[in-house]
Structure 1
């Protein structure tokens, strides 16, 4: 089975990590993020945009009390050039990884890294909070109207890590993988990925996908080391 296309993954991101509201504005889809970060606040282009369209989108985002920010998806080189011409700068390049679960020979997760539940335990919220994933991003998870779960794992007999996984059209998207700093380098991130694959299979998913900033070298090594393939990406452009 071939890997899902980048466009399919973009749609899965919107469903599994949804904005508080979506609005159509000319050629754009605008998102109201409600404090949930760039991914749920960025405008995306649906057709073609003029300079006037870019300025109108910036005004509309300011009217929502948001800093203008645009997601530039793979292949949108003309848009990237136009946004740069308006003084908008690159922020947070992101790589999309996926693996087909029919080709994935990962082992069954260890018992202490295989807890799946929704809603998340209080200890999951504490781990996310320690990693900078606060209530606004947890609210994004709550909004996802798809099959979903929180994962919880332990390391060295202590609560250690958590992640969020949600399903859309056969793609299980993993978000917000967080391991406490003092318990990193004990394999818990890998074990949580095993747990994600195990849960995804139980839900009938065909693929497991994740997105990570290029700057996060440790996470990129983890996903590549597990045999996941880079299948797309994007970056943002925003005001300096």
Structure 2
């Protein structure tokens, strides 16, 4: 039974993880409509950077009017309106979306782990870089992503305020083959953008680079780690489960046509 269906979701924990998540992955434009956060980023397709996030279960006032206002803002950015449903979303809003034919099209599990209980190597196999340009190039190569994202990704990483560690594993003949971003926000460490090159998987590189990132964060005073993973990514969920990560809550994306 997951945290969502067990009806035991810890709302203060959700609020805190949402807050550190916003700081770890900052949108270019953030506006508030009541307690709804409207996030938009013209140059990057990340759903977390382009969505409306209601943050108070009781804030349902004039929902239809506010959604239409948000839709026009998204339209100006050339994007469809996306609503991100966390346990903080007003239930009447979600019922309204469902009743009007909106569809959930992606679900994400937010996991956390106690860094004191994770077995990590005594030494760091990989040291963090602070060279954003180098990390962006490495990350795009590992993920085989479109190079057109480079300026926007560099802007996002440059906007992260908490201390960040940029980790890359390189092969002498192949270049970058694994990468991960770790954002240390006081006692919480956020793991972002973990990727292993398609040709290098099932070699333990994911655990290797993640262990270095977590050890770096623990040495800096982080006590817990968190990350987000799409619920259909069984390989990633198995990897994180081995390290002791457990689900805190889930969130879901909604759109009118069931896609981003």
TM-score by length of 2: 0.81
Residue among 199, 212, 235 paired with 1:218: 235
Say if 1:59 and 1:120 are closer, same or farther in 2 by CA, change over 3 A.
Answer: closer
Q: Is 1:237 aligned to residue 257 of structure 2? A: no
**Is this contact kept in 2: 1:164–1:174, CA < 8 A?**
yes
Q: How far is 1:157 from its partner?
A: 7.4
Residue among 185, 195, 210 paired with 2:212: 195
Say if 1:75 and 1:120 are closer, same or farther in 2 by CA, change over 3 A.
Answer: closer
Matching residue of 1:92: 106
Residue among 8, 15, 22 paired with 2:16: 8
Q: How far is 1:101 from its partner?
A: 1.3
Residue among 111, 127, 135 paired with 1:115: 127
Q: How far is 1:196 from its partner?
A: 1.4
Number of residues paired by the alignment? 236
**Is this contact kept in 2: 1:170–1:205, CA < 8 A?**
yes
Rounded to whole Å, the distance in 1 between the matches of 2:129 and 2:202 is 25
**Is this contact kept in 2: 1:161–1:179, CA < 8 A?**
yes
Rounded to whole Å, the distance in 1 between the matches of 2:244 and 2:172 is 26
Root mean square deviation, CA, Å: 2.4
Rounded to whole Å, the distance in 2 between the matches of 1:52 and 1:140 is 30
1:146-185 residue pairs with structure 2 within 5 A? 146-154=162-170, 159-185=176-202
**Is this contact kept in 1: 2:124–2:215, CA < 8 A?**
no
Per-residue deviation, residues 62-82 of structure 1 (Å, max 9, x unmatched): 234332011100253433222
Say if 1:41 and 1:121 are closer, same or farther in 2 by CA, change over 3 A.
Answer: closer
Per-residue deviation, residues 15-50 of structure 1 (Å, max 9, x unmatched): 010000211124421112123211011111134223
Rounded to whole Å, the distance in 1 between the matches of 2:35 and 2:15 is 17
Q: How far is 1:217 from its partner?
A: 1.4
Matching residue of 1:72: 85
Say if 1:175 and 1:25 are closer, same or farther in 2 by CA, change over 3 A.
Answer: same
Matching residue of 1:125: 137
Rounded to whole Å, the distance in 1 between the matches of 2:76 and 2:173 is 49
Q: How far is 1:155 from its partner?
A: 6.3
Rounded to whole Å, the distance in 2 between the matches of 1:232 and 1:52 is 29
Moved over 4 A (4+): 154-158
Q: How far is 1:149 from its partner?
A: 1.4
Say if 1:123 and 1:58 are closer, same or farther in 2 by CA, change over 3 A.
Answer: closer
TM-score by length of 1: 0.88
Matching residue of 1:101: 115
Unaligned runs of 5+ in 2: 1-9
Q: How far is 1:56 from its partner?
A: 2.5
Matching residue of 1:30: 38
